[in-house]
């Protein structure tokens, strides 16, 4: 009498685990493939996702993203560049401000740079969306590390943009414990698709506070 329900429970648990493994396995493959896809399409703007800066200077990872954006801009792939990223407690500069200053130093007119903010990918997009909308910009080339490209595009799409990928091929990030980044992205994408990326952001990341304009 007892063994029957127990066996049924074990079968159900086994099925759930199998489905979860399959779901996250497919998610990982999608992330991997998108990170190796390089679109040649033109767009209205290049969207650069923020990462750490070092006291007013782009980190090696951020510089790689900005250099990728510069290549796209100089090739005429898009006439605008949107930069994102806020500042951490104690920082004087914002990632977006540092990024904008770097782009200006390398020949991009300041009038063609839109600055957002944000502490995570959802906030990166949501904080720059008003400026993109103000200029009627919808199609974007998303520039970030390969393992982050799928989620960056998914979140951009969820907020009304039409993204195409341009992952950074030479980011220093990909040389260090890459499996951890892919594991995190697989979990974030897998959960985000179920509960919603915006809700996941609200659970895991503090709301964006007012940041210090910086970097030019």
CA–CA separation, 147 and 183 (whole Å): 9
Q: How confident is the model at residue 171 (pLDDT cuts 50, 70, 90)?
A: confident
Please say whether the beta carbons of 115 and 96 come within 8 A: yes
pLDDT (0 to 100) of residue 216: 33
Angle between helices 197-204 and 149-158 (to 10 degrees): 110
Is it the case that residue 214 has pLDDT exceeding 50?
A: no
Please say whether the beta carbons of 154 and 121 come within 8 A: no
Alpha-carbon separation of residue 210 from 73, 86, 116, 141, 185 (angstroms): 29, 9, 11, 27, 27
Q: Residue 117 burial by CB count (10 A; 0-12/13-18/19+): exposed, middle or buried?
A: buried
Higher pLDDT, 209 or 146: 146
Of the candidate ranges 57-61, 134-138, 190-194, 205-209, the one whose mean pLDDT is the lowest: 205-209
- Mean pLDDT taken over the chain: 92
pLDDT (0 to 100) of residue 213: 37
Candidates 73, 74, 84; CA nearest to 44 is 73
- Over residues 178-204, the mean pLDDT reads 95
All structural domains of the chain: 34-204 (3.40.50.620)
pLDDT (0 to 100) of residue 76: 98
Please say whether the beta carbons of 126 and 148 come within 8 A: no
pLDDT (0 to 100) of residue 215: 37
- With tokens 């066996």, the residue in question is 7
Candidates 191, 128, 112, 185; CA nearest to 161 is 128
pLDDT (0 to 100) of residue 2: 64
Q: What does the block give as tokens for 160?
A: 């009304």
pLDDT (0 to 100) of residue 206: 77
Q: How confident is the model at residue 6 (pLDDT cuts 50, 70, 90)?
A: confident
Q: What does the block give as tokens for 40?
A: 């040649």
Give the chain's count of helices (H) and strands (E): 7, 7
The proportion of the chain whose per-residue pLDDT surpasses 70, expressed as a percent, equals: 94
Alpha-carbon dihedral angle through residues 182, 48, 140, 162, given to the nearest 10 degrees? 40
pLDDT (0 to 100) of residue 177: 75
Quick: pLDDT tens for 50-106.
Answer: 999 999 999 999 999 999 999 999 999 999 999 999 988 778 899 999 999 999 999
Q: How confident is the model at residue 5 (pLDDT cuts 50, 70, 90)?
A: confident
pLDDT (0 to 100) of residue 90: 77
- Over residues 12-32, the mean pLDDT reads 95
Higher pLDDT, 118 or 6: 118
Candidates 57, 64, 38, 70; CA nearest to 167 is 38
Size of the chain in residues: 216
Please say whether the beta carbons of 14 and 49 come within 8 A: no
pLDDT (0 to 100) of residue 96: 97
């Amino acid at each position: 009498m007892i063994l029957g329900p127990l066996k049924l429970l074990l079968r159900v648990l086994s099925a759930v685990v199998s489905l979860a493994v399959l779901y996250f396995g497919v998610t990982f493959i999608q992330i991997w493939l998108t990170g190796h896809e390089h679109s040649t399409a033109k767009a209205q703007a290049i969207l650069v996702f923020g990462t750490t800066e070092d006291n007013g200077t782009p980190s090696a990872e951020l510089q790689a993203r900005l250099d990728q954006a510069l290549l796209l801009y100089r090739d005429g792939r898009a006439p605008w560049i949107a930069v994102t990223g806020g500042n951490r407690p104690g920082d004087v500069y914002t990632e977006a401000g540092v990024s904008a200053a770097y782009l200006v130093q390398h020949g991009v007119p300041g009038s063609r740079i839109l600055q957002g903010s944000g502490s995570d990918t959802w906030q990166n997009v949501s904080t720059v969306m008003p400026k993109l909308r103000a200029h009627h910009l919808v199609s974007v080339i998303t520039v970030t590390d390969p393992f982050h490209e799928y989620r960056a595009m998914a979140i951009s799409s969820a907020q009304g943009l039409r993204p195409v990928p341009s992952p950074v091929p030479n980011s220093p990030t990909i040389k260090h414990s890459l499996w951890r980044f892919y594991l995190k992205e697989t979990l974030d994408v897998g959960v985000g698709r179920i509960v919603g990326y915006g809700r996941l952001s609200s659970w895991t990341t503090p709301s964006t506070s007012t940041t210090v304009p910086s970097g030019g």
